[in-house]
Amino acid sequence: MPDAGATLERLVQTRVRRPAQIAEAAARRARPASVLGEHGKLMMIAADHPARGALRAGDKPLAMGDRADLLDRLCVALARPGVNGVLGTPDILEDLLLLGALEGKVVVGSMNRGGLAGTAFEIDDRFTAYDAAAIAAAGFEGGKMLTRIDPDDPGTVATLEASGRAVSALAGHGLMAMIEPFISHRDAGGRVRNELTADAMVRATAVAAGLGTTSAYTWLKVPIVDEMERAMEATTLPALILGGEVADDQDAAVAGWAKALALPTVQGLVIGRSLLYPPGDDVAKAVDTAVRIL
């Protein structure tokens, strides 16, 4: 976007005066022939964090709170060769639709954003964004759900039930259900922390794989953990590696992604803040580095 201010003004005026253009843009969008790119993997940029109140990237607590800047970074990332998908909430994906940035891309709508970061109800992660019918109506390729399992929080069961229903509904439309499972606990300060161990991921993956009336269209979105091979042996479902927080050592993070991509179930990457707000702030360079390891 050459002029972020002008672009923001254009988006606002479209939303005020011609909101129907969003559905029109979705209807005429060129859809991808496959969920896999020319490199044989799925390379997605994730940008669904703001709707859950998670705006931090690296040492900037409100980095993702500047929408014009975020859209600029997304457009740069999506234009790079080898990037064939994006994950976002309705507000972000609709901005990208109006900007023409989703042509030929695999588009996955984020579904449950009700478990706001840092709240007492974080684990009871309500489905407050897309539902399966809206994703199908927009012509998108799938829906994603964060599914955290806290053995000590009764809110877990509501999230599991809702995730199961979403998997079934997406499958009914022949659409990808992308589940992001974790075993989670609250620390001494009350903050939800994900348990990033192979044992925890085996358990979380096993639970996630069994959600819904069919697993035919289910993919997993998983973090890098030690003994990644053992974690991925828990299922035959295709998996995508998530990027997580912005790493101090980006080279080590990329090396971990590359190692995981060698596993038979791993079919690509879904990276957000690590590529949109990389050390050095060169989005194009960071994205190209990730694409090369595919």
Range of the domain at 24: 4-292
**pLDDT tens, 64-115?**
999 999 999 999 999 999 999 999 999 999 999 999 999 999 999 999 999 9
Q: How far apart are CA 182 and CA 207, in angstroms?
A: 10
Q: How confident is the model at residue 209 (pLDDT cuts 50, 70, 90)?
A: very high
Q: How far apart are CA 225 and CA 164, in angstroms?
A: 25
| Statement: residue 164 has pLDDT above 90 | yes
Q: What pLDDT does residue 3 have?
A: 72
Cα separation, 23 vs 180, in Å, equals 28
Q: What is the pLDDT of residue 139?
A: 98
Tokens of 267: 């079919």
Given this model, what pLDDT does residue 5 score?
77
pTM listed for this prediction = 0.96
Mean pLDDT score, 201-226: 97
- pLDDT band for 244, please (50, 70, 90 cuts): confident
Per the CB < 8 A criterion, the answer to whether 135 and 143 are in contact is yes
Q: Which residues contact 250 (CB under 8 A, 6 or more apart)?
A: 274, 278, 279, 286, 289
Listing DSSP states for the chain in one string gives: ---HHHHHHHHHHHHHH-TTHHHHHHHHPPPPS-SS-TTSSEEEEEE-SGGGT---BTTBTTGGG-HHHHHHHHHHHHHSTT--EEEE-HHHHHHHHHTTTTTT-EEEEE----S-TTSTTSSS----S--HHHHHHHT-SEEEEEEEE-TT-THHHHHHHHHHHHHHHHHHTT-EEEEEEEEEEE-TTS-EEE--SHHHHHHHHHHHHT-SS--TTEEEEE---TTHHHHHTT--S-EEEE--SPPS-HHHHHHHHHHHHTSTTEEEEEE-HHHHS-TTS-HHHHHHHHHHT-
Q: Inform me whether the pLDDT recorded for 59 exceeds 70.
A: yes
What are 88's strand-pairing partners? 47, 109
| Residue 2, pLDDT above cutoff 70 | no
- Mean pLDDT score across all residues of the chain: 95
What share of the chain has pLDDT > 70, as a percent?
A: 99
Which CATH number do you get for residue 11? Answer: 3.20.20.70
Q: Is the pLDDT of residue 246 over 90?
A: no
Q: How many domains does the chain have?
A: 1
Res. 1 pLDDT band, cuts 50 70 90: very low
- Per residue in 194-204, pLDDT (tens digit) is 999 999 999 99
Does residue 174 register a pLDDT over 50?
Answer: yes
Residue bearing the bigger pLDDT, 245 or 109: 109
**Confidence (pLDDT) at 250:** 84
